[in-house]
Structure 1
Amino acid sequence: MAEMSLLRTAMEQYVCSANEAITMKLVRTPADIDDDDKNFCPEFTHQIFGQNENIFGYKDLKIHLYYSAAQLNYYLSKSCSEKVDPARYDGVQADDVTRMIIEKLGIHPMDNLESFVTSLGKESNFTPSGMMLHSYKTHKDGVDQQFEIYKVDMSVAGFREYHEKLQTFLWWFIDAVSYIDVDDDRWQFYLLFEKFTVDGAARYSIVGYSTVYKYYAYPNKIRPRVSQMLVLPPYQRQGHGAQLLETIYIDYRQDLDVLDITVEDPSDDFIRLRDFVDCKACMHLSSFSPECLHQGFSDQMVQEAQEKLKINKKQTRRIYEILRLRVTDESNSEQFKQYRLDIKKRLNMPYQKEKSDLEKMRKVLKPEELAATMAGHSLQERHQNLEKMFQEQMEDYRKIVERLAML
């Protein structure tokens, strides 16, 4: 037992964090390879290396996964100062890191840096697939940057192969990811690129992308659902997600067959992005004027948001609450009280149904069974829960209001 404990302790020195060991990079030119400012790390590695996100068998492990910025050719390398010796540690082998990455991502990377550098010479041949829907410019660090958003599907020659490379980013940045069935023609893709020039010629770098599935909506409509959306780390917190989502919205709003636009299992970050984009659009609708907002949630809001912006009723209610907070003077005690009561009334609806269910149980349950069922359902506890939910809602809503104030 003591020997096993010593062996386990000795092997711990060969455990490292996958998140820290892996370095990724979008490479435009050979000079980028040695530019550490271009590096970024994965957000998730448990989908490849397990829940602990650890790699065993190495000291000072460094894994480099580079993508050429336009064509997305891969380079994968691994180095370490020491690798575990099975002869010294009861036959225990180091994780086959390279194999694990290749098999999970389904890629065929280069392992020769010179070959990867040579491939960069072909980046100038790349042009985005599909139809350009939107272009815009930003000004960052004294430099103007241009971006373009394209809509494409699998019928476009060469896009299937490009998508196979593009989707590998999902394993590192979207939790619980799975590859979609690209043979289903109801999938549509929206790709965002930075456009820049090298020696006077146009070049591109992938920024992010989104997938949308066109579901059927009874009786004769479609309901597009945003399934995946990713903006790569070098471009995050710069407004590109909003540009991409707005472009998707505008594209589908022009389609008379679209009933409304939904989202599949959104992350917290995406919920905030969607709230911001929807608020920005609804602000200009007549039913969301400050006067209407102070009068409460209305059928007119639901109808106008659905007809003009393809926003469903549930999301419209959320947008109403955010925009009403935006025009509510929190220093005005009566005005904020009315707002708070309006939100808590909505939050209390599940409790009202629960109360009705409990009243029915009183007629059929024995006293001891009823007491056990009603544990945790006191009026005081319900009020405490409502207040907690309200404060959490306010924290989320205020972040959107603050961002809207910057427009």
Structure 2
Amino acid sequence: MALKQKGGEISGDTKKRRRVGFANIDTGVEANECVKVFLVKKEDEVGKTSSYCIDLVDLNHFFGEDGKIYGYKDLKINIWLSIVSFHAYAEITYKSTQDGGKGITDLKPALQSIFGESLIEKEEFLQTFSKECHYIRNIVSDGKVLHSDSLRKDDQASDIHLDAEGPTIEVICTELHNLPVGLLYSRLVPLVLLLVEGGRPIDVTDPRWEIFLVVKKMQDPSGDSIIDLLGFATVYRFYHYPDSTRLRISQILVLPPYQGQGHGRRLLEAVNSVAFSENIYDVTVEEPSDYLQYLRSCNDTLHLLAFEPIKPSISSVVSYLKEGNLSKRTSKLRFAPPANVMELVRQKLKINKKQFRRCWEVLIYLNLDTENHRCMENFRACISDRVKGDILDKNAEANGKCLIEVPNDYDHDMTFVVFWSQAGGESDGIDGKLEGDPATQEEQLSQLIDKEMEDIAEIAQKVSLLHNS
């Protein structure tokens, strides 16, 4: 980590003038205003601000109680992060320092809270490009290959085309408690903290954690194998009573330069393949981002389109929406999938019930005539009923959810069980509850329904493109 002060020494006359003047109050600077992180693959890219710069989440919580940096004039923190060894080097420059009443922020602890031991000095950082050029290749050598295909990618497009002569994309699974793999994950944690809102590291000492790595394999002109890491997913194996296992995806991240190329779907498909081959109970995702939920719903809906046993139930609902008049209904339509269908989907496709309900609405939408006004009004009425039910469930959950700690074999302080009291239940995904007077609540409800309709239409459009490609 390099510290550089711009400008020369302050003259004696200037010092005297400062003593008789009024000190400026230091209001501080937001971390995101002065911190930039660049991803680099070659030694000659280090130090160049033309390198790939990533969009960062809010970094303020790493810098003291109020999240600001104090005491520096014209502060710049440029960090180069190697996507070869995943070490980092920070260059800090400023014109001057002065205590303006809030002290001078010590930057080193804040940066180490993000990068840990992967933050190293420049000379050592530059050496990693040669010394650790095969770091990823060595890590994945003992992993299990779950998926492999050849590809050819046009540099100017995001679509990937199969090509037997191109590089190979593989998804490899390995256990995180394996020491070298755990070390790799510790170097990936900064990316989680920098790119995922609310991201936090996992406990790699627990043997139930696995990591899925999507990599690109190539050969250099000499025939030597080169492996680049494109993204990863961490997955936990939960016990499911009485004799089964549930897979939960905790983190899934594709490195920014490789996003939009289908690697997120590859990771999801690899996790699903494990669930199928081992007859896992189902697959869940821990607090998915909006985009991950979108990607997951597209993927699962695509599988459901080809699943014949659910088609009669879909046809039944679609027929009713086309022919009925729900504006005059006196009770809520039984729009949700039948219980036996949900159970069959869980058994065969490993899609959990809450996720299947989301995909169910997309499947219905795909079978509707969007130009038929009555049909779409009926569909919206069903979505309205579901949204209202979600809000009621959310309120009940807030009143009924409880946590209790339980011991385990690894770290009893970190283990707990979630349960609901009699008044509680599982939520279907609406955050928060309606507030304000009845008119305001009605407007909020209408906006929620509009958003749900837009999300369903967007997923349906993507699924149609994937299905027809």
The residue identity in structure 2 corresponding to 1:68 is: S
Which of 118, 129, 136 lines up with 2:127 in the alignment?
118
Structure 1 runs not aligned, ≥5 long: 1-5, 355-374
Listed one character per residue, the Cα deviations across residues 260-280 of structure 1 (whole Å, up to 9, x for unaligned) are: 111112222222122111112
Give me the whole-angstrom Cα distance separating, in 2, the residues matched to 1:404 and 1:287: 19
Which of 201, 220, 233 lines up with 1:210 in the alignment?
233
Give me the whole-angstrom Cα distance separating, in 1, the residues matched to 2:65 and 2:454: 30
Q: By how many angstroms is 1:401 displaced?
A: 1.8
The residue identity in structure 2 corresponding to 1:44 is: D
Aligned pairs for 1:367-386 within 5 A: 384=443, 386=445
Give me the whole-angstrom Cα distance separating, in 2, the residues matched to 1:300 and 1:210: 31
Give me the whole-angstrom Cα distance separating, in 2, the residues matched to 1:116 and 1:155: 26
Which of 292, 298, 312 lines up with 2:338 in the alignment?
298
Give me the whole-angstrom Cα distance separating, in 2, the residues matched to 1:156 and 1:103: 24
Q: 2:268 maps to what in 1?
A: 245
Q: 2:146 maps to what in 1?
A: 133
Listed one character per residue, the Cα deviations across residues 250-301 of structure 1 (whole Å, up to 9, x for unaligned) are: 2222212x11111112222222122111112111111444635625533453
SS of the equivalent of 1:36 reads coil
Q: By how many angstroms is 1:73 displaced?
A: 2.5
Q: 1:244 to 1:8 in 2, by over 3 A?
A: farther
Give me the whole-angstrom Cα distance separating, in 2, the residues matched to 1:392 and 1:298: 25
SS of the equivalent of 1:185 reads coil
Q: State whether structure 2 residue 399 is matched by structure 1 residue 340.
A: no
Single out whichever of 383-392 and 276-285 deviates more from structure 2. 383-392
Which of 38, 50, 57 lines up with 1:25 in the alignment?
38
Q: 1:346 to 1:51 in 2, by over 3 A?
A: farther
Aligned pairs for 1:65-80 within 5 A: 65-80=79-94
Listed one character per residue, the Cα deviations across residues 137-167 of structure 1 (whole Å, up to 9, x for unaligned) are: 3523258664322111135352122221122
Give me the whole-angstrom Cα distance separating, in 1, the residues matched to 2:51 and 2:154: 16
Task: Report if aligned partners of 1:16, 1:59 keep a CA contact under 8 Å in 2.
Answer: no
SS of the equivalent of 1:183 reads coil
Q: 1:316 maps to what in 2?
A: 356
Q: 1:203 to 1:94 in 2, by over 3 A?
A: farther
Which of 123, 147, 158 lines up with 2:169 in the alignment?
147
The residue identity in structure 1 corresponding to 2:370 is: E
Q: 1:139 to 1:329 in 2, by over 3 A?
A: same
Listed one character per residue, the Cα deviations across residues 332-352 of structure 1 (whole Å, up to 9, x for unaligned) are: 122213322322232343688
Which of 201, 205, 208 lines up with 1:179 in the alignment?
201
Which of 51, 66, 69 lines up with 1:55 in the alignment?
69
Aligned pairs for 1:94-105 within 5 A: 94-105=104-115
Task: Report if aligned partners of 1:20, 1:41 keep a CA contact under 8 Å in 2.
Answer: no
Question: Aligned residues: percent identity?
Answer: 26
Q: 1:135 to 1:35 in 2, by over 3 A?
A: farther
The residue identity in structure 2 corresponding to 1:124 is: C
The residue identity in structure 1 corresponding to 2:41 is: R
Q: 1:386 to 1:45 in 2, by over 3 A?
A: closer
Give me the whole-angstrom Cα distance separating, in 2, the residues matched to 1:64 and 1:147: 32
Task: Report if aligned partners of 1:72, 1:166 keep a CA contact under 8 Å in 2.
Answer: yes
Q: 1:167 to 1:381 in 2, by over 3 A?
A: closer
Task: Report if aligned partners of 1:191, 1:208 keep a CA contact under 8 Å in 2.
Answer: yes
Task: Report if aligned partners of 1:22, 1:41 keep a CA contact under 8 Å in 2.
Answer: no
Q: 1:140 to 1:96 in 2, by over 3 A?
A: farther
Q: 1:393 to 1:138 in 2, by over 3 A?
A: farther
SS of the equivalent of 2:172 reads strand
Give me the whole-angstrom Cα distance separating, in 1, the residues matched to 2:198 and 2:177: 28
Listed one character per residue, the Cα deviations across residues 155-212 of structure 1 (whole Å, up to 9, x for unaligned) are: 5352122221122222112223332222211111112223344434222332221111
Q: By how many angstroms is 1:326 displaced?
A: 2.1
Q: 1:73 to 1:300 in 2, by over 3 A?
A: same
Q: State whether structure 2 residue 241 is matched by structure 1 residue 224.
A: no
Give me the whole-angstrom Cα distance separating, in 2, the residues matched to 1:24 and 1:195: 26
Give me the whole-angstrom Cα distance separating, in 2, the residues matched to 1:352 and 1:40: 40
Give me the whole-angstrom Cα distance separating, in 1, the residues matched to 2:269 and 2:134: 29
Q: 1:403 maps to what in 2?
A: 462
Q: By how many angstroms is 1:120 displaced?
A: 0.6
Which of 87, 94, 107 lines up with 2:117 in the alignment?
107
SS of the equivalent of 2:133 reads helix
Q: By how many angstroms is 1:394 displaced?
A: 0.7
Q: 1:253 to 1:73 in 2, by over 3 A?
A: same
Q: 2:284 maps to what in 1?
A: 262
Q: 1:353 to 1:151 in 2, by over 3 A?
A: closer
Single out whichever of 47-56 and 199-208 deviates more from structure 2. 47-56
Q: By how many angstroms is 1:397 displaced?
A: 1.4
Q: 1:362 maps to what in 2?
A: none
TM-score between the two structures when normalised by the length of structure 2? 0.71
Q: 1:329 to 1:170 in 2, by over 3 A?
A: same
Alignment length, in residue pairs? 374
Give me the whole-angstrom Cα distance separating, in 2, the residues matched to 1:58 and 1:321: 54
